[in-house]
Amino acid sequence: MENELRDNEVNCNTQSLRIDFTEDETEEEEKTFHCDVCNKSFFLKDEQTIHKCFHAGEDLYRCEICGKSFSEKVRLTTHKHIHAGVEPYRCNTCGKSFSQNHTLAIHKCIHIVAKTHHCDICAT
């Protein structure tokens, strides 16, 4: 199961469990634009162009509050939730809220791991 997942970690006091999530590889067949540096595939030419900024070290969108910069506008918009205190992503298991969806996804792993894995050392 660990080989089927994307890089995230869930920690208890004494051990950590690495969890990795995979992308759906069937989508790769439909993506016609490829990065000549890393061979990542995209559906749209504009996505490929923006992606190339990562390799060039260019950040096109800058947060006016903290100065952090992003290569994609959507990432800047999501980042601004942190400054605004907006937490639209809520865990349906425990009710905890998060400003970013990927943070919620990582948090949900805690509940999944808690149901399927138990630490022999700290009994959690």
Name which of 7, 9, 8, 14 is nearest 121 in CA terms: 14
Cα separation, 51 vs 44, in Å, equals 11
pLDDT of residue 84: 92
Which pTM was predicted? 0.43
pLDDT of residue 8: 41
Domain extents in the chain: 87-117
pLDDT in tens, 35-86: 887 788 888 888 888 777 777 766 678 899 998 888 778 889 989 988 999 8
Pairing state between β 33-34 and 16-21 = unpaired
| Sequence-separated contacts (24+) of 92-101 with Cβ below 8 Å | none
Does residue 99 register a pLDDT over 50? Answer: yes
Do residues 87 and 98 lie in contact, with contact meaning Cβ atoms separated by under 8 Å?
Answer: yes
| Cα angle value 67/71/74 (rounded, 5°) | 90
Contacts of residue 79, Cβ cutoff 8 Å, sequence gap at least 6: 63, 68, 70, 100
